[in-house]
Amino acid sequence: MLNDIDRILITQEEIAARVRELGREITATYDQSDPNLTLVPILSGSVIFLADVMRQLPIRMKIGLVTVSSYQGATTEGVAPQMPTISDLDIAGQDVLVIDDILDTGRTLRLVTSRIRELQPRSVRTCVLLRKPSRAPSDFTADFIGFDVEDSFVVGYGLDYDGHYRNYPNIGVLRPELYES
């Protein structure tokens, strides 16, 4: 696995430090006297980020899961995201924080947040570990962003190529010959 990584963009130490900062930013945003928070991670890419960031939030909370798939293999030209499976989300009146691995074109987060709003939560915010500013739309962004990254296909810390590399602890760029044919 390690030989497949062309270069590291963000080290695991840098991720850990930024996740602690994000935890402080998110905690300061919510009213501690009236905690009503539901984290909604978008599976599967956000699982490692979720596990780390939620432990930085000393807030009473629940988790609801959403599954969306849009990318196949390593193309950064994603097909349209499928309608999310929002299973048993009981979020009416809740403060919802949607967690995703990366904001690329923004189509996934737009779709998920619009579906979530239909369930009448008290508030909806979004948190992503990564954003590709060169691709993200000018009229849509996330409320909390870990890092801006270049427009390369990145893997690690939950992000995959064809299902692999999610367990790579840094954020890295794959050797191009692995996915360019």
Question: Minimal distance in Å, beta carbon 32 to ligand XMP?
Answer: 30
Identify the CA nearest to 167 among candidates 51, 28, 26. Answer: 51
DSSP letter for 84, please.
P
String marking each residue 50-89 x if it binds ligand XMP according to CB under 6 A: --------------------xx----x-x--x--------
Residues 6 or more apart whose Cβ sits within 8 Å of residue 114: none
Question: Which among 52, 100, 101, 104 is annotated as catalytic?
Answer: 104
33 vs 174: CA distance, rounded Å = 45
Out of 36, 160, 170, 174, the residue judged to bind ligand XMP by CB under 6 A: 160
Contact between 159 and ligand XMP by CB under 6 A: the answer reads yes
Query: Which residue type occupies 63?
Result: I
Query: Which residue type occupies 113?
Result: T
Out of 6, 14, 107, 147, the residue judged to bind ligand XMP by CB under 6 A: 107
72 vs 147: CA distance, rounded Å = 23
What tokens does 169 get? 């602890």
Whichever of 36 and 105 has its CB closer to ligand XMP, that residue is 105
Q: Which stretch binds ligand XMP (CB under 6 A): 16-24, 47-55, 85-93, 95-103?
A: 95-103
Contact between 45 and ligand XMP by CB under 6 A: the answer reads yes
Contact between 121 and ligand XMP by CB under 6 A: the answer reads no
Out of 48, 154, 171, 174, the residue judged to bind ligand XMP by CB under 6 A: 154
Out of 41, 54, 100, 127, the residue judged to bind ligand XMP by CB under 6 A: 100
10 vs 23: CA distance, rounded Å = 18
99 vs 116: CA distance, rounded Å = 13
Q: Which residues are catalytic?
A: 104
